């Protein structure tokens, strides 16, 4: 029997939360354990319920989804947050991913894609809607590369072993764990172990953050 994934819904529109709940409750391995209409309530419920995955609205009154994501991951670094927005050119995309979100999708994503994304981020991988990927790169890379030369000798990298660094570079290039395993002649479980240590040593919480950090350090471009 598949492990049940416990989900917290965060959106200031009750109708949106209701629609997500209807979709998710049809899946035997997905369970909605709570709902919040604002960032403050979301943080309180996350602390109490400790969900596996949070579906987070990016635009909310008061504390927005970016800051709520940052706060929750400070409290609960193993929680996976999937940010959802109405706009495919949302300027908050980069900020949400920098805050530690494991994925970013549009609210009009098909139900089958949404449920697949939840399972993907719960498994430790990242999800970004193809329709916003181009915009994300367009906005993010100039910021990362502006006046910043390659810094492969950055002291931060001294924390990594040679193998961990190899894994980090391939993650930065967009390789999946199976692809890294094949490239480095390792088992997939060994790759997961190395990557977990990379996240821990660099103070990162998601694969997307690792990709961004690899760009910032000049390891990929």
Q: What's the pLDDT tens digit per position in 25-37?
A: 999 999 999 999 9
User: pTM score, two decimals?
Assistant: 0.69
Q: Poorest-confidence range of 9-18, 41-50, 93-102, 133-142?
A: 133-142
| Mean pLDDT computed over 46-57 | 96
Q: What topology is assigned to 5-139 in CATH?
A: Rossmann fold (3.40.50)
CA 158/CA 201 separation, integer angstroms: 10
Under 8 Å between Cβ of 156 and 202: yes
| Mean pLDDT computed over 86-114 | 77
Q: How far lies 172's CA from each of 113, 128, 189, 207, in Å?
A: 24, 15, 19, 9
Q: Poorest-confidence range of 21-25, 72-76, 99-103, 191-195?
A: 99-103
Closest-CA residue to 101 (of 119, 84, 82, 128) = 82
Using the predicted structure, report yes or no on whether residue 130 has a pLDDT greater than 60: no
The SS3 call for residue 217 is coil
Under 8 Å between Cβ of 93 and 143: no
Could you tell me how far CA 52 lies from the centroid of its own chain? Answer: 13
Using the predicted structure, report yes or no on whether residue 150 has a pLDDT greater than 50: no
Under 8 Å between Cβ of 177 and 192: yes
Note the pLDDT of residue 213: 82
Using the predicted structure, report yes or no on whether residue 50 has a pLDDT greater than 90: yes
Architecture of domain 147-216: Orthogonal Bundle (1.10)
Confidence band for 71, pLDDT divided at 50, 70 and 90: very high
Domain locations in the chain?
A: 5-139, 147-216
| Mean pLDDT computed over 85-102 | 72
Under 8 Å between Cβ of 35 and 8: yes
Note the pLDDT of residue 88: 56
CA 68/CA 107 separation, integer angstroms: 18
Confidence band for 151, pLDDT divided at 50, 70 and 90: very low
Buried b (16+ CB within 10 A) or exposed e, 161-173: eeebbbbbbbbbe
Express as a percent the part of the chain with pLDDT over 70: 83
DSSP string, 150-194: --TT-GGGGGS-HHHHHHHHHHHTT--HHHHHHHHT--HHHHHHH
Question: Tens digit of pLDDT for each residue in 195-212?
Answer: 989 988 998 877 777 877
Alpha helices in 76-127 (DSSP H): 93-98, 111-122
């Amino acid at each position: 029997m598949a492990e049940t994934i416990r989900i917290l819904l965060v959106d200031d529109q009750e109708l949106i939360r209701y629609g997500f709940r209807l979709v998710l409750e049809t899946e035997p391995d997905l369970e909605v354990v709570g709902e919040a209409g604002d960032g403050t309530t979301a943080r309180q419920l996350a602390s109490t319920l400790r969900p596996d995955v949070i579906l987070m609205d990016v635009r909310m009154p008061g504390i927005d989804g970016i800051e709520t994501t940052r706060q929750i991951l400070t409290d609960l670094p193993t929680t996976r947050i999937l940010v959802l927005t109405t706009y495919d050119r949302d300027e908050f995309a980069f900020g949400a991913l920098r805050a530690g979100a494991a994925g970013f999708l549009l609210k009009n994503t098909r139900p089958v894609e949404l449920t697949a994304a939840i399972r993907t981020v719960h498994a430790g991988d990242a999800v970004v809607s193809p329709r916003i990927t181009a915009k994300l790169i367009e906005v993010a890379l100039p910021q990362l590369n502006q006046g910043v030369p390659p810094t492969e000798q950055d002291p931060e990298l001294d924390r990594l072993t040679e193998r961990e660094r190899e894994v980090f570079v391939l993650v930065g290039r967009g390789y999946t764990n199976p692809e890294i395993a094949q490239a480095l002649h390792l088992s997939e479980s060994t790759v997961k172990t190395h990557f977990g240590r990379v996240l821990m040593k660099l103070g990162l919480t998601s694969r997307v953050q690792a990709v961004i950090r690899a760009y910032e350090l000049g390891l990929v471009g």
